[in-house]
Chain A
Amino acid sequence: MAEKVKLFVNGQEVEVESGKNLIDAIGAVGIEIPHLCYHPALGADGNCRMCLVGIEDGRPPLVPACKTMAVEGMKVQLDTEKIKKIQRDIMELELINHPIDCPICDQAGECKLQDYYMQYDGQKSRMTVPPVAKAKHMDFGAGVVHDQERCVLCARCVRFTRLITKTGELGIVNRTDAARVTTFPGRPLANRYALNVVDLCPVGAMTSKDFRFKQRAWFLTKSESVCHGCSKGCNIYIDHNKEKYQDDIIYRFRPRLNQQVNGYFMCDAGRMTYKLENDNRLNSAQVAGKETNINDAIETLRRAFSQAKKTVLIVSPNCSLEQMLAVKRLAATYNAVLSGYSDGYIKKGDGDDFLIQDDKSANRAGLALLDIESSKSGFEAALAGADLLVSFQNDLCRSLTDAELTKIQETTKLVYLSSYKDRFSEIASITLPVAAYSEDTGTIINTDNILQRYGAAVIKNVPAFNLIRVVNLLGGEFKSHEEALTDLSATIAALNNIDLKHIPSEGIALTDKEVSNVAA
């Protein structure tokens, strides 16, 4: 734990962490110091001047809180008339050249200018001269659209491309009130994290081409979840909304702070995986190319299980620990062979040294923890003589060539339980829709051995059965997700000492021993 210091805010003693600036230190105990340019991941720039605070007996008496460290005994003034006037004045100056087009601005509802105007300004405009005209809806590339007139020149986006992605596409050109954020001619934003500038922008200057004009921020339900785009497991908000007479639709993913996993950011590709949750979903069961009632399809599959000479179950590295365990038990019930073969989910060389991983699955570490054999040779050996192959969300087309698949099809009946329509769902003779992770709850382990929990965010008008329920209907022993969790705690030695029902939001870092399933 960091050392604590005691200081005074508006005469009241507060205990804060040392080694932090005033915005973070005092902010952590619930006292807001307004700021636009400072961001914990990008450091203090000190250009917005919104965080100026008084220091009683201080030299100088007026300091930017973002550049001032909390020290013992410091007397910080936030509520004096002088400071309130400064905040009002800075807000007035921020707004004189701002278009105040909130009714058509995507940021409205989550805009710092709006919030601070209500909190610290609230005055009528005294602007009787024409504002500065700048460029609007500039396509910055990578799905980022910029409005120079809304921009407050806080330079968060510029610093992001310089400090975080180190690609430096953005800069501020010109001086004085002609200053503006722009790209170099012919050099648009071209990095895999560019859309983070939309989140970083405290105002509506940076908008996402994908999200623009789709939803008002205040209608969105913001549910916590974990991205399944790769094995990093970036923490996200699923922003979704069920409009009247419509289905519950996801409109965007946004990164959610987790210093242990992804910090403040996520990659653009992961951000766009929200579309998979909305579109191209497997919505109905099919048996031999005919749409079938889900219960009938399950019954058909049960029969297939009992008739099969040899059954192979294959589970996806995207499944949660609970789902994997349920499938593992089902395999035991039917005396089937279980595989986690999913090499196709790994895109070698695609990862980087920041967040993006080669492995495009969320829980490969879970396969190892549950001791599920995942090699290609193991899978091929299992297939020998098998006449039924049931895939639990594992898109085998990713891992096998068409020729290999065709060969398997000759002797083996293919069954696919999936949330999404993909190539494998086209060729399987029985397909069963199951809930996607945004509609389900589960526990996964990321590439850095962080155990994380995600909860159900979206409730569809016609909810798909979740995988554990389907497995249960097929003869699996867990009636619910909770039962699977309880069993995990009890039977997986590595998880004996972990309260799986209360995983903190930042996750639990497992030791190497725990991940390799050695009892503590």
Chain B
Amino acid sequence: MQVKVLSARFDIPDAHKIEVAKENGAYSTLEKVFSMQPVEVIELVKQSGLRGRGGAGFPTGLKWSFLPKNNTKPVYLAVNSDESEPATFKDRYILVRDPHMMIEGIIICCYAIGSHDAYIYIRGEYTTQVKALQAAIDEAYAAGYLGASVDGKEYRLDVTVHRGAGAYVCGEETALLESIEGRKGQPRSKPPFPAVEGLYGCPTIINNVQSIASLPFILTNGPDAYKAYGTEKSPGTHLFGISGLVKKPGMYELPLGLPILEVIEKVAGGLLEGRKLKGIIPGGSSTPVQTPEEAQDLTLDYESMAAHKTMFGSGGIVVLDDTVDIVKLVENLIHFYHHESCGQCTPCREGLGWMLKIIKKIVRGDGTTADIDLLRELCDNIEMKTVCVLSAACTMPVRSYLNKFRHEFEAYVKSDTSCQTAM
């Protein structure tokens, strides 16, 4: 089931070094790219059907074409390496094992969108990754792939690495821009969208590491070769992070469209001995949970996820077995999103704190059925009333647990009643 498209050089020793990467094909597409017109590159990426790998799955080529025509301002590329969605661990492999694939992708993207300055926003906790990335960028400068003249062509491109300070919300594209600009990482209201008014008020494209890293393969082998993987609407491959209670958790590159249960069984080695599947988080902590029944016909692509009222997300699959306490999972989940709320909008700022206190009350054994109902109602009251989707990233999964595993919450409420009586 596994394929080697993005991860082709991951297992080659020292592939993070430019000589080894080059021996194995890195930077070989640049000649072709610079012989094309930028619009042709955009067209080709559109044809490949590549969708944004940060979580939303927006078609990458289409995003690029939103840049204003007759623009006189500089255009920026911001590469989102904040990778902070819990259960997501794919971009870190690219950053450490094959950073030159991403740098080559940055060159391709910048050429296509007419940008001469790219920023890589990397999460502060990625200390190993930032070292590897900076080393690779330094190598690329030394080798003439970055700087005043990219690959000997009349094209300047500078790449700056900007380290975040650990806020989850800085993975939201406009909070990311605020953070690069030196302000508190708080999402901006849209419109204006970053493609029109982004970094320093200039048109800006923000792409995920994996989206950018997919470009060299698409440009080298053509859109059809990319579309040979995956489904019609979800072409290509994806680095899936499979974690939770499976025998072989890890990062696996798979074409899109595979049945999720089969992947868990065959790729991740299946559940631990004697355990029963309770649920699957399909694409990072913010995606609604799937019950084993729902997962029967769930495949790893955008369409199937949407049909199941969940999301493909960032490809971070978490397997939950019968030992998992859903109520405590939800407590952990709300704790995270409450902690990471930027505090800008009222519903998210006040609401997530309230939800956390309610779930703690339930876990403590002091909860009532009314508390469960209130928690469920708050999900509706908070969601989509805010500038960004951070609050929805909390309320969507919480709602799914409350709907699908309500009996577990009720058990907490009931056991408490008996406790109180016993006292």
- Which residues from chain A sit less than 8 Å from chain B, CB to CB? 44, 46-50, 52, 62, 64, 67, 86, 89-90, 92-94, 96-97, 126-130, 132, 152-153, 172, 174-179
Contacts and interface: CB of A to CB of B under 8 A. Distances in A.
A152 B384 CA distance: 20
Report the contact-size class of chain B (Cβ under 8 Å from the partner): 20 to 34
Helix, strand, loop or mixed for chain B's interface? helix
B189 A93 contact: no
Contacts of A127: 354
Contact of A132 (B344, B353, B360, B384): B353
B162 interface: no
B68 to A, nearest CB: 19
A129 B355 CA distance: 10
User: Which of A47, A92, A97, A127 is the most central at the interface, judged by chain B CB atoms within 10 Å of its CB?
Assistant: A47
Nearest to B338: A176
Contacts, number: 88
* Most interface-central of A130, A176, A178 (chain B CB within 10 A): A176
11 contacts: A46-B189, A47-B387, A49-B347, A49-B385, A64-B189, A90-B346, A94-B350, A129-B354, A172-B184, A175-B343, A176-B353
B351 A93 contact: yes
Contacts of B374: 126
Contact of A174 (B189, B343, B354): B343
**Residue among A47, A50, A93 with most chain B CB within 10 A:** A93
B189 A176 contact: no
Interface in B318-362: 338-347, 349-354, 357-358, 360-361
A97 B361 contact: no
B357 A129 contact: yes
B354 A49 contact: no
Interface of B: 167, 169, 184, 189, 338-347, 349-354, 357-358, 360-361, 371, 374, 381-382, 384-387
Contacts of B189: 44, 46, 64, 67
A264 B184 CA distance: 28
B344 A47 contact: yes
Contacts of A96: 350, 354
A176 B391 CA distance: 11
A153 B374 CA distance: 24
A47 B346 contact: yes
Given A94-B350, A96-B354, A176-B338, A49 B345 contact: yes
B346 A94 contact: yes
A90 B385 contact: yes
Nearest to A94: B346
A216 B354 CA distance: 32
A52 B347 CA distance: 12
Contact of B350 (A44, A50, A93, A175): A93
Contacts of B344: 47, 153
Contact of A47 (B167, B341, B345): B345
B361 A129 contact: yes
A173 B318 CA distance: 34
A126 B374 CA distance: 9
A198 B229 CA distance: 62
Nearest to A129: B357
